[in-house]
Structure 1
Amino acid sequence: MYFDFSNYGDILALVQASVFAGAVLGIVGGLIGVFVMQRDMAFAVHGISELSFAGAAGALLIGANVVLGSVVGSLIAAAIIGVLGARARDRNSIIGVLMPFGLGLGILFLALYPGRSGNKFGLLTGQIISVNFDQLGALVGISVAVLIVLLLVWRPLSFDSLDPEVAAARGVPSRWLSLVFMLLLGLTIAVSVQVIGALLVLALLVTPAAAALRVSASPIMVPVLSMLFGLVSAVGGILIAIGSSLPISPFITTISFVIYLVCRLIGWRRGKALTRVPSTVEAVG
């Protein structure tokens, strides 16, 4: 491992598409990650990413568009989980079946692929040059579509995520919302795989939201903080990786994890401060 920032500006100009894609994905991943945490679906993110990886690897093998292959794999997995996994127990068992199948299928496709090994490795761990300007339009288009649909269903989806029983009693179409959310999640994972790789996509779709929930319970501040943490993790990781011989993913995951640790520490200190207040009042009384 080495760091060389002597030609940083020139290299940065070559990876502008990756930086912009990372910024968009950090924002979208941070936003949808709030619902992932509320609906306790972190395991589903990993399961869908394996099928997304298989789809991307299959597209790479046959010379098709890798983004399209990733999207197809993600949507298939998301639809299966959304339709068959209405209950948590069923959902986890389905994900447990899909994960090894998707990973094994992806590894098979990569083993058969005769091209550069860097392309194979990039699907798993991300690459600094994994996104070109031809792919950027598709990534941004998918991300914007996810954002628009997510904003349209925000209120009923929030209600269903926080209190599904009451939401169902009030006539909220929980099953359809679950399916829509799974498809949106699948699309987000598909585009995230192109930047951070299939194995570590949780760093953009789970960790920022988990960190935000440690420092706030506000329905406004949690999404804002989650998007901010996702943006800092994605863009910061890419900017550091530019001068390194390592892939993008270790830097993105490290920044994301550090943010989570800081937020957890803040939440812990705040909790201790709150527990001291009643004790002080009792002592005075």
Structure 2
Amino acid sequence: MIRPALDWGDVISFQDYDKLLALVSNSLIAGAVLGIVGGLIGIFIMQRDMAFAVHGVSELSFAGAAAALLFGGSVVAGSLAGAVAAALLIGLLGSRARDRNSIVGVLMPFGLGLGILFLSLYEGRSANRFSLLTGQIISVTTPDLGWLIGISVAVLVALVLVWNPLRFDSLDPDSAAARGVPSTAISMLFMLLMGLVVAVAVHIIGALLVMALLVTPAAAAMKVVHGPLSVPLLSALFGFVSAVGGILLAIAGTLPVSPYITSISFLIYVVCRVIAWSRDRAVRGRTQRALNPAE
């Protein structure tokens, strides 16, 4: 009998699941915090049309992490340095959307190429190199966990403090500037916060797929709710479910953590789109019946 090329038992198995769960407690905590913070900051990423910039920052974060891996430094510190440098550069040079997209388009291949160069020179374990691109479920050590939680909490506190002016500037920058909101300072602060969250996301989910936690949850939430409180709360919930759910599934599998996280995040988005489509169709039907009662 010919054995099938793909045996699902090799992909996912819940044997000794409780023992494996204890080994990834750090990743679960970091994923939960990242999912919440990523969902919240993702609202402003969507409102400011900066989803493309997230990917650009992640590539420089990847290059910084790869350099740290090559030269024996802290991968978290290298990732932070690359992400913050990219975020500030985009913020300084890309004041307009067209300029910003051009700068991101230049930075992305440069950061990816630089990161690949560093990884090709690295002679250590191949798993360490692969994890920078796609994430690794056991990559979060106890010292790293402290840094990741500290960064996430700092970003969350900063978001809460500037929430109203940032929201005003994101939705109507011209009116915000006319009302005295320091748009340049707000934009630079937001880019810095986004760079910090991207650096944390790269450490969990990898450089190639950070948008699954920084863009997709917010995009999904904005399809089904519209209130100033309901949107961030639902986005944070979606980010939490995607990150923690993905890690819990990855424990039982042999694949990297990122496919599980991205799949859950995408499914949530698809469900939200279907709900929004059904609701809009029902509204159009009621409107047509009201306008044409004789039909």
**How high is the TM-score relative to the length of structure 1?**
0.99
Residue identity matched to 2:194: L
Pairing of 1:1-285 with structure 2 (within 5 A): 1-284=10-293
**Which digits, 9 at most, give the CA deviation of each residue in 1:235-258, with x for residues without a partner?**
000000001010000000000000
Deviation at 1:64, TM superposition (A): 0.6
Residue identity matched to 1:154: W
Deviation at 1:282, TM superposition (A): 2.1
Deviation at 1:2, TM superposition (A): 2.0
Matched position secondary structure for 1:199: helix
**Which digits, 9 at most, give the CA deviation of each residue in 1:4-36, with x for residues without a partner?**
211111111011000110000000000000000
**Which digits, 9 at most, give the CA deviation of each residue in 1:62-118, with x for residues without a partner?**
111100100000000000001110000110000000000000000011011110000
Aligned residues: 285
Deviation at 1:3, TM superposition (A): 1.6
Give the distance between the partners of 2:96 and 2:71, measured in 1 at CA: 37
**Which digits, 9 at most, give the CA deviation of each residue in 1:31-68, with x for residues without a partner?**
00000000000000000000000000000111111001
Give the distance between the partners of 1:215 and 1:268, measured in 2 at CA: 9
Deviation at 1:284, TM superposition (A): 2.9
Deviation at 1:132, TM superposition (A): 1.2
Where do 5+ consecutive residues of structure 2 fail to align? 1-9
Q: Percent identity?
A: 66
User: Which residue matches 2:4?
Assistant: none
Residue identity matched to 1:99: M
Give the distance between the partners of 1:284 and 1:137, measured in 2 at CA: 64
Residue identity matched to 1:40: D
Give the distance between the partners of 2:149 and 2:270, measured in 1 at CA: 30
Give the distance between the partners of 1:83 and 1:179, measured in 2 at CA: 7
Q: Structure 1 stretches (4+) deviating beyond 6 angstroms? A: none
Give the distance between the partners of 2:218 and 2:19, measured in 1 at CA: 34
Where do 5+ consecutive residues of structure 1 fail to align? none
Residue identity matched to 2:129: K
Give the distance between the partners of 1:131 and 1:80, measured in 2 at CA: 28
Give the distance between the partners of 1:94 and 1:117, measured in 2 at CA: 31
**How high is the TM-score relative to the length of structure 2?**
0.95
Give the distance between the partners of 2:170 and 2:290, measured in 1 at CA: 37
Deviation at 1:278, TM superposition (A): 1.5
Residue identity matched to 2:99: D
Deviation at 1:283, TM superposition (A): 2.9
